[in-house]
Amino acid sequence: FPSHDTERVTVAKLKLNSAIENYLNALDRLAACILRGYVPEQEYKLDYRDVINGAVKNYEPNFGGVQKKFRNVLEIYDKWKTE
């Protein structure tokens, strides 16, 4: 039984990591649309500023070190945190 539990935990961790990656990819696409002017920035800032702040803070390791991932999210985060 213990190995079965270990396997279930491993599968759950993989699924969680995949869900987080999908979530951050979706936020990165949203941030790209905002940065390119496809959607009204001020309106989306009101709706998504806290979401983006939370994602950057809660999933900081997922954004990478030198090899930055989710660059659009980081760019909009940096832009909005100074405004």
Distance CA 58, CA 52 (A): 10
The predicted pLDDT at position 82 comes to 86
Question: Mind listing the pLDDT tens digit for each residue in 28-62?
Answer: 999 999 999 999 999 999 999 999 999 999 999 99
What are the structure tokens assigned to 44, written together?
A: 């989306």
- DSSP for 8-68? HHHHHHHHHHHHHHHHHHHHHHHHHHHHTTSS-HHHHHHHHHHHHHHHHHHTGGGG-SSS-
pLDDT of 66 above 70: no
Please tell me the pTM assigned to this model. 0.86
Distance CA 49, CA 30 (A): 12
pLDDT of 1 above 60: no
CB atoms near residue 13 (< 10 Å): 10
The pLDDT mean for the chain works out to 92
